[in-house]
Structure 1
Amino acid sequence: MELNNILVVGLGQCGCRITDGFKSLNPELTPIYINSSEYDMLDCKHIRDYNKHIFNGADGSGKDINKALEFIIEDKPRLLSFLDKFSQFKYMLVVSSLGGGTGAGTLTEFCRIVKETYDIKVGVLSIMPSLTEDKLSLDNALTTLKELSSNKFLELVDSVTVANNGKVKGGNYAKINRQIVKGFSQALTLTTDSREERIDTSDLSKVFLNNKGYLSILPMPEYCDSIEESLLEARENNIFVCNSEDMECGYGAIVLNEEYNLKEVASLINSDETLFKSHDKEDPNKNMILLGGCSFPRDIINDLRTELRTRNAKKVERKLGLDDEEFDIDERKKKIMSSLSENGNSISRNRRRTNNINKILDDEDIDF
């Protein structure tokens, strides 16, 4: 990828900070910053009057994704006037959190506006909150991930990648952002000059831009005892979300040091189009597998849904005064319903509470 042809767009506070990190690490990139609060961008080093857009009349969204959606819809004419200044770019990387308000709330509509207005390839890098974060962040992430994984959204963009905050142990947001920027920047520049099998910017563009679907980024460790162990370690430590077992793609690229057998690694990948592969003798630390056009990794949606269902079940247990024991979801439901039947409440109220048990397991509000 030729970095001077890439426009990096930060949506919301998280997206703007990561975009700023991209510019710091890769001076050739052009960043722009879009947010509902100017205060949230005060620590961005590369922000200027000409490359920032604050939604008209907005002063933050308070993690309200519906409020953020109203901002971008009502401010569309001003936003288009701002984006017109950067219409010469061939590729746009849109960076946004999934758990915040402005980024998550405007992401889909922003991509729709861009795709309907400009002839440009669009990639999305979205940041998933840790499962330990507050419920509102997880609710926003679940809603936004459902949108991102839909066929309708995947028709708007050329690739989607998700980074998982929860993969950085004990890391603050600054540390997490640096790791995301470093890994994705390496993917953007994964070219080699090997005489045997060279990977150039044109090859890399096909992996990023010629696939409709998910872009898997898998940084590889130093070679372990086997390729299977190496892949297992890579998946366990990877901040970028990948399918747990699926190695199918449209276009793919493999750049590994000489400890790896390229043919052995390539044999594990099923590519619909072609798989570019190369050893990098000049930079032995450049170990990475890129797979474009993958199926969306729905495990992350299931993880979010399970966490929210578990929290909701615990909430009901506290309301009913049950012991804080460890149950799976089905056992929790049985325990709660058993308690309800023993409460001696009126039949109608008891029935309403029983119906609420089914609601909470689907992340719906309950009424006590």
Structure 2
Amino acid sequence: MKIALIGFGNAGGKIADELFEYQLDSDRELCRAVLAVNTAQTDLAKLDRIPEEDRILIGQTDGRAKGHGVGADPDLGAAVTRQDLHEIENALAEVPIYDVDAFLVVAGLGGGTGSGGAPVLCEKLQDTYEEPVYGLGVLPSSDEGGRATYNAARAFPSFVEATENLIVFDNDAWRGHADSVGGGYDRTNREIAKRIETLLSAGNVGEEISENAMDASDVRRTLGTGGVSSIAYAETGIDRSTYESRGFLNRFRSNGVEEDSDSAKKISGLVRQAVQSRLTLPASVDSAERSLIVVSGPAEEFSRKGLESARRWVEERTDSIEVLAGDSPTPSADVLSVAVIVSNVTEVERIDRLQSQALDAQANVEKQREAREQEIEDLITDDNDEISPV
């Protein structure tokens, strides 16, 4: 699959930047085009990989933003985006849409620009193009405060409705206790890039084509459910020195004879390890409508028997026959990796908790506003209201 990648807001831009860099480092070709959109010039200037001509500053003519951000106000972020949609459309006019299988819009949901603007952009993309529009939304961690939680709870349903499928990454589940703020986000951004790259690069034609190669249409089918999805991932190192020792007679592939049982066990074990460990969004996998397994690495490590065993196990685990599985040959890779996406999950405790916390935050905000108004009134008037204002 080849995508047009759009990072929206501060978090979205950083993740898009990391994903673009990961693509270059892994010699894969996922991003046919990449854009970063923001209301703050300083955030755009901090990006490392996305070319400057592909960084779009919106809100310059809006008196409330003026290129300095929207102050964590998603309503302002949405309004500024609507005003300047033409700026983004002009940039997209340079994108070779004929060579793009899908759009991926990335945004953090705790701020203002991404949480407010990304759904607006996705709606416009859906109206303009035939290609599917996917989202990648990042939930804020608890230590980011009540405002971020409230913004995320408001932005979440809008982002889901505006996209064909929203892949979610939960910072609360991934930030380590020993992480610094910046270091923690840098690490999680790399984890996001690794998973998205492995999953969506499937089907891109490279130096080798496997009999079980995944196709972009398989990815589109799995993500065509709507709703919310989560990605599982696992990897293991490989020893290239063992390739020569295997010999042609010791490793028959896909020809009705016997495959290498060690490779089959490795593939099946990695898939189980992935699904049973941390997902990008903790969820009950048996609530998923569809699933997709992608194995990536040197073709010598692949096993059709292992892939079929893994597919059957995921079918049992998700209680669904809608499970696709394939591989993505990457000759230069030094690890064997698997990505499993569970699509349209409906049992997600984190979302329930987010909404509950947001309701509490909203009630506190309203209560504090009422108290504040009374305190201000008490401050500016005398006790008996005997002084007449000028």
Q: Same fold (TM over 0.5)?
A: yes
Number of the residue aligned with 1:186 = 198
Alignment partner for residue 11 of structure 2, among 11, 14, 27?
Answer: 14
Which protein, 1 or 2, shows the higher relative CO under an 8 Å CA cutoff with sep ≥ 6? 2
Change over 3 Å in CA distance of 1:72–1:87 after alignment to 2: farther
Contact 1:99/1:140, CA 8 A, preserved across alignment: yes
Offset from partner CA, 1:9-60 (integer Å, 9 cap, x none) = 0100111111111111113322111110111122212333431211132321
1:301 matched to 2:351: yes
Counterpart code for 2:89 = L
CA distance in 2, matches of 1:50, 1:135: 36
Structure-2 separation of matches of 1:211 and 1:63: 31
Give the residue type in structure 2 aligned to 1:18: I
Say whether the 8 Å CA contact 1:221–1:230 is kept in structure 2.
Answer: no
Which ranges of structure 2 fall in alignment gaps of 5 or more residues? 237-264, 297-301, 372-390
Match of 1:99, SS state, is: coil
Match of 1:46 among 49, 55, 61: 49
Quote the sequence identity (%): 20
Report which stretch shifted further, 83-92 or 183-192: 183-192
Tell me: CA distance 1:274–1:216, structure 2 relative to 1, closer, same or farther (3 Å).
same
User: Cα offset for 1:64?
Assistant: 0.8
Task: Give per-residue Cα distances to partners, 1:189-243, cap 9 Å, x unaligned.
Answer: 3569665xx132235433455333323311147899x98x956x855533x1142
Cα 1:243–1:142 change in 2 (3 A) is: same
CA shift at 1:278, angstroms?
Answer: 6.3
Aligned to 2:225: 211
2-side partners of 1:6 and 1:76: how far apart?
20
| SS of alignment partner, residue 188 of structure 2 | helix
Counterpart pick for 1:241 among 281, 302, 308 = 281
How well do the aligned residues superpose, as a CA RMSD in angstroms? Answer: 3.4
Aligned CA distance change for structure 1 residues 44 and 37 (closer, same or farther; 3 Å): same
Q: Secondary structure in 2 aligned to 1:85?
A: coil
Give me the whole-angstrom Cα distance separating, in 1, the residues matched to 2:12 and 2:233: 22
- Distance in 1 between residues matched to 2:95 and 2:330, nearest whole Å: 37
Spell out the pairing of 1:112-123 with structure 2 (5 A cutoff).
112-123=123-134
Mind listing any 5+ residue stretches in structure 1 that lack a counterpart? 313-358
- Pick from 153, 166, 175: which aligns with 1:160? 166
Partner residue, 2:338: 287
Q: Aligned residue pairs: how many?
A: 306
**1 CA distance for matches of 2:34 and 2:42?**
18
Aligned counterpart in structure 1 of residue 116 of structure 2, from 86, 95, 105: 105
CA change 1:272–1:31 in 2 (3 A) is same
After the TM superposition, which residues 246-285 of structure 1 pair with which residues of structure 2 at under 5 Å, given as runs?
A: 246-250=286-290, 252-253=292-293, 255=295, 261-262=309-310, 263-271=312-320, 273-276=322-325, 285=336
Cα distance in 1 between the residues matched to 2:359 and 2:201 = 41
User: How big is the shift at 1:298?
Assistant: 4.2
Separation (CA, whole Å) in 1 of partners of 2:202 and 2:90: 34
Question: Structure 1 286/67 Cα, relative in aligned 2: closer, same or farther at 3 Å?
Answer: same
- For the residues of structure 2 that align with 1:41 and 1:279, how far apart are their CA atoms? 33
Which aligned segments of 4 or more residues in structure 1 are displaced greater than 6 angstroms? 221-224, 256-260, 278-284
Moved more, 6-15 or 184-193: 184-193
1:127 equivalenced with 2:138 (yes/no) = yes
Is the 1:218–1:242 contact (alpha carbons within 8 Å) kept by the matching residues of 2?
A: no
Match of 1:326? none
The answer to whether 1:31 aligns with 2:39 is no
CA contact (8 A) 1:33 1:52 kept: yes
